[in-house]
Amino acid sequence: MIRVARCRPIGVAALVVLLASCGQGGTDVTPRLQWYVFDEPSGAFDAAAKRCSAAAHGAYRVETASLPASADQQREQLVRRLAAGDRDIDIIGMDVIWTAEFAEAGWILPWPGAWAQSAKQGRLAPTVQSALYEGKLWAVPFTSNTQLLWYRTDRVTEAPDTWDKMIRRAQALGENGTIQVQGERYEGLTVFFVSLLASAGGSVLDEQGQSVSLDARATQEALEIMRRLARSSVTDRMLSTSREDEARLAFEAGESSFMVNYTFVWPSAHSNTPQVAENMGWARWPSVQEGQPSRVAIGGINLGVSAHSRYPEFAFEAALCIASESHQRLAAAQGGLPPTLEALYDDRRVREVFPFADVLRETLKDGVQRPQSPLYSDISLAISRTLHPMTNIDPQADVARLRSAVARSLRSEGLF
């Protein structure tokens, strides 16, 4: 039974009355739930917190607590506070790659019974998969995202459906044929490799997430594309330091015809360079193998409940409220954050923000997870450090190097 402060275990309905006896007379004893999440600039998250507070009718109040913009800094701050047993954290806006680590460490609570069923209902299967670890649900999927192919419709009449075709088409365009990808030594490079690997039919870890997989054929095929792109005339000269934002800016500059990137590039182009935006098309991420759909790593935010929360029952209830249909619609329409509820991709307001909603939904439905392991951070560093810079990739030799590096990370050997 879950305990709340120093009071005996009770249900949600009786908690409000009992809190009055646990508090001091005459003071506001309304439980305050702190929702730690990245600083969402549109105000959609703050609005959701206020709405869920109102819907609680005085049972609790939800307040947002902003985390840094960088995902690495978000994780660092949360890890330090959760490891110290900080009781001021109730709801956690978790990057999808943190599930296994936070669950294994005992920092978040598994979702029980009916709450777990509600958290899964109607959501795209890969988004639910991102919240699972060892057969248990550890968060409710709130927002999602994945990469698409963006291209110049005034230069290309039809989007290439494979990496081979895109590279050859870009070469034919000459100086305007540049392809923008993420090549710096960071998480984006890991995402690029994982997506290529999955599209080739491979995976970093086995199905249990305990051992290295990295099938030789699929791994080599992914590495050959990375090296070919990096050494071609169509790669950006700043590839080794390119992240999502650098790729966006380069595409907006007008000299690039292709880019793989997240959906934020669409409103950005319309705001910054309308002349580029009016000739901006979208398509599914290119395939590795002809006739086989691409499989792209997904991102997004899931809502977990801190194991140190004073009010875990309220936190589960509030997290479901935040991740509800109306608030996912708000986050999409106001903040440009793709929903996890499949039906919302047919919603008029969502489709106005994402005219590419059908392609985005299909990509997400076929989406893949980055390695679901408590040691993911070390695994990601092992991959990005082995494959950077992309121009130095040796497709045959690096299969063994990758296997060795990932195996060391699973044994917590070496300092990545």
> Is the same domain home to 59 and 104?
yes
Within a domain: 153: yes
Which tokens in the block code for residue 308?
């140190």
DSSP string, 302-336: EEEEBTT-S-HHHHHHHHHHHTSHHHHHHHHHHH-
32-38/61-67 β-pairing: parallel
The answer to whether residues 398 and 306 belong to one domain is no
> What single-letter amino acid sits at 119?
A
Q: Which two tokens stand for residue 113?
A: 């019974």
Grouping H, G, I as helix, E, B as strand and the rest as coil, residue 300 is strand
Please state, as a whole number, how many other Cβ atoms lie within 10 Å of the Cβ of residue 230. Answer: 19
The single-letter code of the amino acid at 53 is: S
Cis peptide before 389 (omega within 30 of 0): yes
As a 3-state breakdown, the chain gives helix, strand, coil percent values, each rounded to 5, of: 45, 15, 35
Q: Which tokens go with 107?
A: 């920092």
Residue 58 domain-assigned? yes
Q: Which parts of 128-269 are beta strand (E)?
A: 132-133, 136-137, 140-145, 148-152, 178-180, 256-261
Output phi, psi for 123, to 5 deg: -95, 150
By CB atoms closer than 10 A (0-12, 13-18, 19+), residue 275 is exposed
> What is the domain-level CATH number for residue 41?
3.40.190.10
| pTM exceeds cut of 0.95 | no
Q: Which amino acid is at 68?
A: P
| Helices 244-252 and 265-272, packing angle to 10 deg | 40
Domain extent at residue 212: 148-297+375-410
CB-CB contact of 404 with 214 (8 Å): no
Identify whether residues 167 and 212 lie together within a single domain.
yes
Same domain for 128 and 250? no
Same domain, 195 and 291: yes
Q: Are residues 81 and 210 in the same domain?
A: no
Same domain, 69 and 86: yes
Q: Cα–Cα distance between 100 and 108 in angstroms, integer?
A: 10
62 lies in the same domain as 91: yes
Structure tokens at 57: 């009718």
Indicate whether 278 belongs to any domain: yes
Is position 24 within any domain? no
With 0-12 / 13-18 / 19 or more C-beta atoms within 10 angstroms meaning exposed / middle / buried, residue 127 is buried
Predicted local confidence at residue 2, as pLDDT? 37
The reply to whether 188 falls in a domain is yes
Residues 157 and 135 in one domain: no
Q: Are 231 and 194 within one domain? A: yes
What confidence score (pLDDT) does residue 274 get? Answer: 98
284 shares its domain with 321: no
64 and 49 Cβ atoms separated by less than 8 Å: yes
H/E run at residue 63: strand 61-67
Closest-CA residue to 54 (of 62, 64, 42, 46): 62
What is the distance between the terminal CA atoms of the chain, rounded to a whole angstrom? 40
Statement to judge: residues 337 and 218 lie in one domain: no
Domain assignment present for 320: yes
Count up the domains in the chain and report the number. Answer: 2
pLDDT of residue 413: 86
Helix (H, G, I), strand (E, B) or coil at 154: coil
Residue 285, number of CB atoms within 10 A of its CB: 23
| Residue 4, domain member (yes or no) | no
Q: Which two tokens stand for residue 402?
A: 């990758």
Residue 1 neighbours by CB distance under 10 Å: 6
For 110, the token pair is 């598994």
**pLDDT, mean of each 10-residue run, the chain (416 residues):** 35 40 56 97 97 98 95 95 98 98 98 97 98 98 98 97 98 96 98 98 95 98 98 97 98 97 98 98 97 97 98 98 98 97 98 98 98 97 98 97 97 71
Q: Please report whether residue 17 resides in a domain.
A: no
